[in-house]
Amino acid sequence: MLRRTFSFEGKRYDVRAETEEELAVKIALKKRDLEEGHVLVTKNMLVSDWFKTFMTSYKQNTISKETYDDYLYRWEAKIEPYIGRMRVKDVRQIHCQKIVSDMSGHSKDYIEKVANTLFQVFQRAKKNHLMHDNPAEDLELPAAENGIRRAITEYEREIALKVANTHRAGLWIKTILYCGLRPAETAALQGRHLDLKEYVLNVESAIKSKDKRVGKTKTASGKRAIPIPEDLAMEFKRQNISPYEFVFKNTKGGRLSGGNMQIMWRSFKREMNIVAGCEVYRNQVLPPYKIADDLVPYCFRHTFCTDLEAAGVSINEAARLMGHKDISITSKIYTHPSQDSFDKVTKQLSDYRRKKEISSMSTNLDLD
């Protein structure tokens, strides 16, 4: 067996063949593929490269564009940050288990879709002899209810707002909490979308997962105008954001990606645990953690809707501000009972019963 290596853009490639002629042909073909940008299927390839091959070979012409985009979003937001830079053959079940375990707080349907994506990706890798076993088999999925997420507690609100005063993600969290934006909508937000004279935030676009470009909102209803609280407007003004500058940026000054937001959230939640009283040893936050595992950025968006309900805003107007195309989404998924709304109902019932009692007493006196 003959063997030869060559370098391309700083990376070495190994080629083997039975004869000199066959070796020369294999080297020429591999160099051509590299120059044309083709991803080579090799036993040492990275998971990120294999995922691209998987999508191009098995999904591109077999599913709808919407479903294709969903695969890409799940990859970018939930899988790539964990194992994207690992070699396919080095991925173990514990790595896949970590991905789904960290999804506590997401809907049952979404967790199952991420687990299924992992299974499909590595099942095809197994079929192509890149690995002996599928590391995404028999994963233990965290307990979850389908389609239901929660609002934040008053304690979580207190801690989050305290951390937001100093953390670089503070303005991002406040925007989700006070304006109800989806994370993908915050990533597309530019200075021109903020009318700081009239205190109005205009949602016009969102980041698309397929090519990470700025595109349309999730639905036509997603395009909307939202009032900005005065305190939040003052914070935006202090940022001195130019019209076509992104409001929220990564550490390098670029536009936020799904991975950037996940990293930013993990840092923010870590600081919440510290402020809440967790001990830190050698820069590691020690359990037991004070902040619930199921607290995710979307909880702040849902809290915006809960606050609308507690403030007495009609459900039709709440649906518009949330960007829901169907009012049933607002009523069945995004509204959560709060202590304020419960207290309000209690008072209303108490007042009604008191009036009924007074009316009954008045009727009895008249009869006497």
pLDDT single digits (tens) 62-110:
888 778 878 887 898 789 999 999 999 999 999 999 999 988 767 788 8
pLDDT of residue 176: 98
pLDDT band at 46; cut points 50, 70, 90: very high
Q: Are 347 and 206 in contact (CB under 8 A)?
A: no
Q: Are 295 and 105 in contact (CB under 8 A)?
A: yes
Which residue pairs, CB below 8 angstroms and at least 24 apart, start in 88-95? 88/43, 88/45, 88/46, 88/47, 88/50, 88/122, 88/125, 88/130, 88/131, 89/43, 89/44, 89/130, 89/131, 91/47, 91/122, 91/131, 91/135, 92/135, 93/135, 93/136, 93/137, 93/138, 93/139, 95/135
pLDDT of residue 367: 52
pLDDT of residue 201: 97
Q: Domain tally for the chain?
A: 4
Same domain, 187 and 259: yes
Same domain, 143 and 159: no
Domain-ending residue, one of 122, 148, 174: 148
Same domain, 241 and 368: no
Q: What is the pTM of this model?
A: 0.59
Q: Residue 340: which residues within 8 A CB-CB, separation 6 or more?
A: 310
Residue 77 structural domain: 39-148
Same domain, 179 and 295: yes
Same domain, 278 and 358: no
Q: Are 121 and 51 in contact (CB under 8 A)?
A: yes
Same domain, 207 and 289: yes
- Mean pLDDT, residues 334-338 taken together: 54
More confident residue, 45 or 334: 45
